[in-house]
């Protein structure tokens, strides 16, 4: 069963161009030059209930615009979307009770009030029973280590503490669909790890359908099995992460350490030697030939240690950005 179905979804923004300076402002009052920007172009995809999908693309690719249409914040110019059987653009109460959105650069917390005040209000809005609310809040606050700051004004919290509270606020009512727009932006490594562990647990325990946009490839590789890559509003790839890396891994990088000196000339027949010290070498070779070539190297030379790596997800996605 699909939690999200998108069919030829498009969004076009219309805005005017203004010449610089005072005279440009005066002219714009009487005559405006209008421009259009296609933020999303005929996007179509389906996401099954319980999937955790990475939604990637460069800045301005249309990721946030798509999430806003799926959550009902923006109306599409054309096409259609169904989320949990609802039309998001209608913003029905029954629909809003079952979704949540966390944006790393936009707060849903009142910055002049302690986070607990927002949580208490959200409990009433979503009609979460008191005992259930208190247990969920306690468990999440303990996991994120923010129990001691729940009564501190949000504007006095660190970025990491604020983002943890943002996530807690979005999950108090146990949404069926969660939209995450750069949730780990600005967080330290430990906070990123805790947030990933928590999101993984929420996805597995509650079968929450999650769409994640992030420029942090560690987030994507750790949490998502499937990627949707967009650029300039168009979908360039939709499929498993493993397949994407496998299809683009045309080369393997083999790092070698030897017990004895080995010359660069002796290694060049096995691939492109990119670095060479008396007892170490790095060779790039075609992925399909790597197993047989490595076997010969191990048999022929005094190999002490070997490390084999392929192209990274970050490199693959960057390449896709340039092609879509």
Are 272 and 214 in a shared domain?
no
What is the predicted pLDDT for the residue at 1?
80
Distance, in Å, from the CA atom of 180 to the CA atom of 106, rounded to the nearest integer, reads 11
Start-to-end Cα distance in the chain: 29
Are 193 and 90 in a shared domain?
yes
User: Where does a domain end: 245, 260, 290?
Assistant: 245
What is the predicted pLDDT for the residue at 321?
67
Which of the two residues, 215 and 63, has the higher pLDDT score? 63
What is the predicted pLDDT for the residue at 320?
67
Are 240 and 265 in a shared domain?
no
Q: Which is nearest to 170 in space by CA: 128, 215, 217? A: 128
Are 42 and 74 in a shared domain?
yes
Q: What is the CATH number of the domain that holds 271?
A: 3.30.70
What is the predicted pLDDT for the residue at 4?
96
Are 235 and 258 in a shared domain?
no
What is the predicted pLDDT for the residue at 124?
95
How many domains is the chain built from?
A: 2
Are 162 and 278 in a shared domain?
no
Distance, in Å, from the CA atom of 291 to the CA atom of 62, rounded to the nearest integer, reads 41
Are 162 and 276 in a shared domain?
no
pLDDT (tens digit, 9 = 90+) per residue, 249-259?
777 889 999 99
Are 125 and 221 in a shared domain?
yes
Are 80 and 204 in a shared domain?
yes
What is the predicted pLDDT for the residue at 187?
78
Distance, in Å, from the CA atom of 122 to the CA atom of 117, rounded to the nearest integer, reads 9
What is the predicted pLDDT for the residue at 15?
75
What is the predicted pLDDT for the residue at 289?
86
User: Where does a domain end: 245, 263, 281?
Assistant: 245
H or E element, residue 176:
none
User: Where does a domain end: 213, 245, 277?
Assistant: 245
Are 38 and 77 in a shared domain?
yes
| Percent of the residues in the chain that have a pLDDT greater than 70, as a whole number | 95
Are 116 and 240 in a shared domain?
yes
**What residue numbers bound the domain in which 289 lies?**
250-323
Q: 145-183 in b/e burial notation, b at 16+ Cβ within 10 A? A: ebeebbeeebeebeebbbbbbbbbbbbbbbbbbbbbbbb
pLDDT (tens digit, 9 = 90+) per residue, 193-236?
888 888 999 999 889 999 999 888 888 888 998 999 888 888 88
What is the predicted pLDDT for the residue at 37?
86
Are 100 and 142 in a shared domain?
yes
Looking at the DSSP assignment, which residues form a beta bridge with residue 32? none
The pLDDT of 126-146, averaged and rounded, is: 92
Distance, in Å, from the CA atom of 249 to the CA atom of 36, rounded to the nearest integer, reads 38
Read out DSSP for 255-318?
EEEESS---HHHHGGGSEEEEEETTEEEEEEEGGGHHHHHHHHHHHS-EEEEEEE---HHHHHH
Q: What is the CATH number of the domain that holds 30?
A: 3.40.50.300
Coil, strand or helix: which one is 230? Answer: strand
Q: Which is nearest to 116 in space by CA: 145, 164, 146, 151? A: 151
Q: Which is nearest to 60 in space by CA: 42, 46, 29, 39? A: 39
Which of the two residues, 310 and 170, has the higher pLDDT score? 170
pLDDT (tens digit, 9 = 90+) per residue, 283-307?
988 888 888 999 999 999 999 999 9
Q: 5-23 in b/e burial notation, b at 16+ Cβ within 10 A? A: ebeebbbeeeeeeeeeeee
Task: At 46, give phi and psi (nearest 5°).
Answer: -130, 145
Q: Which is nearest to 134 in space by CA: 126, 123, 144? A: 123
């Amino acid at each position: 069963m699909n939690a999200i179905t998108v069919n030829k979804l498009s969004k076009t923004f219309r805005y005017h161009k203004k010449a610089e300076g005072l005279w440009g402002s005066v002219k714009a009052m009487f005559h405006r030059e209008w421009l259009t920007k296609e933020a999303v172009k005929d996007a179509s995809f389906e996401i099954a209930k319980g999937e955790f999908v990475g939604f990637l693309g460069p800045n301005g690719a249309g990721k946030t615009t798509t999430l806003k249409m799926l959550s009902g914040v923006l109306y599409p110019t054309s096409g259609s979307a169904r989320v949990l059987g609802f039309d998001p653009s209608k913003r029905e109460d029954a629909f809003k009770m079952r979704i949540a959105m966390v944006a790393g650069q936009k707060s849903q917390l009142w910055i002049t009030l302690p986070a607990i005040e927002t949580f208490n209000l959200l409990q009433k809005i979503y009609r979460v029973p008191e005992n259930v609310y208190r247990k969920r809040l306690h468990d999440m606050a303990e996991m994120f280590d923010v129990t001691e700051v729940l009564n501190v004004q949000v504007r006095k919290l660190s970025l990491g503490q604020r983002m943890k509270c943002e996530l807690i606020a979005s999950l108090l009512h146990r949404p069926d669909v969660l939209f995450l727009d750069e949730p780990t932006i600005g967080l330290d490594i430990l906070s990123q790890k805790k947030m990933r562990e928590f999101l993984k647990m929420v996805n597995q325990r509650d079968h929450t359908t999650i769409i994640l946009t992030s420029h942090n490839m560690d987030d994507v590789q750790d949490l998502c099995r499937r990627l949707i890559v967009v650029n300039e509003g168009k979908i360039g790839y939709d499929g498993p992460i493993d397949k994407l890396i496998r299809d683009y891994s045309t080369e393997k990088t083999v790092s070698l350490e030897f017990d004895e000196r080995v010359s660069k000339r002796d290694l060049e027949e096995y691939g492109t030697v990119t670095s060479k010290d008396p007892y170490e070498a790095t060779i790039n070779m075609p992925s399909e030939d790597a197993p047989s070539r490595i076997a010969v190297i191990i048999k022929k030379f005094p190999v002490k240690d070997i490390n084999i790596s392929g192209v990274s997800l970050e490199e693959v996605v960057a390449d896709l950005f340039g092609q879509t």
